Amino acid sequence: MKDNKDIKAMIFDIQKFCLHDGPGIRTTVFFKGCNARCKWCHNPESISKNKQLSFDSAKCVLCGECEKICPQHVHEIEDRKHHVYFNKCISCGKCIDVCIPDALKMIGREMTVSEIIHEVEKDKKFYEESGGGVTLSGGECTLQFEFVEKLLKAD
């Protein structure tokens, strides 16, 4: 197995102060990747195991900067509407860098065991006071079993 420093998992979010994912105050680590594809999925952004572009049309000001910079022509502004062709996206992030109103974001980032431990330890005092802890969620975290095993055994 790889060393803790080398092994990475695709994570789409780490939520703090969760009250519904187990006893006490918890930090929930959301993994990307799920092969169940349930129609009622609570976290559809976790289904794909890869990074993916997200677009919030309510934030878009139709400036067209993303359209200009995207090498794959994922964005098209036409008739005062922003069309996003997600199937063309290669997750380069160039459009996100120029999106001033933050209408675009990337869902998913690779994280090491150490990075996640560093993040969840920030809330250690809440866990101790409330009887809480960390919840691994997703997606399906066991699809990244080697990583989960290292994470659960980490000091």
Task: Give the Cα separation of 155 and 153 in Å (integer).
Answer: 7
- For residue 1, pLDDT beyond 80: no
Let me know: does 136 contact 148? Beta carbons within 8 Å: yes
**CATH for the 1-51+108-155 domain, from 3.20.20.70, 3.50.50.60, 3.40.1080.10, 3.90.1330.10:** 3.20.20.70
Helices (H) and strands (E) in the chain, counts: 5, 8
Beta bridge partners of 82: 77
Domain with CATH 3.30.70.20 in the chain: 55-102
Task: Tell me the per-residue pLDDT of 22-75, one tens digit each, with 9 for 90 and over.
Answer: 999 999 999 999 999 888 888 898 999 999 999 999 999 999 999 999 999 999
Closest CA to 65 of 93, 105, 97, 90: 97
Task: Tell me the per-residue pLDDT of 86-133, one tens digit each, with 9 for 90 and over.
Answer: 999 999 999 999 999 999 999 999 999 999 999 999 999 999 999 999
- For residue 2, pLDDT beyond 70: no
CATH classification (class only), 55-102: alpha beta
Mean pLDDT of 77-83: 96
Q: What pTM, to 2 d.p., does this model score?
A: 0.83
- For residue 155, pLDDT beyond 80: no
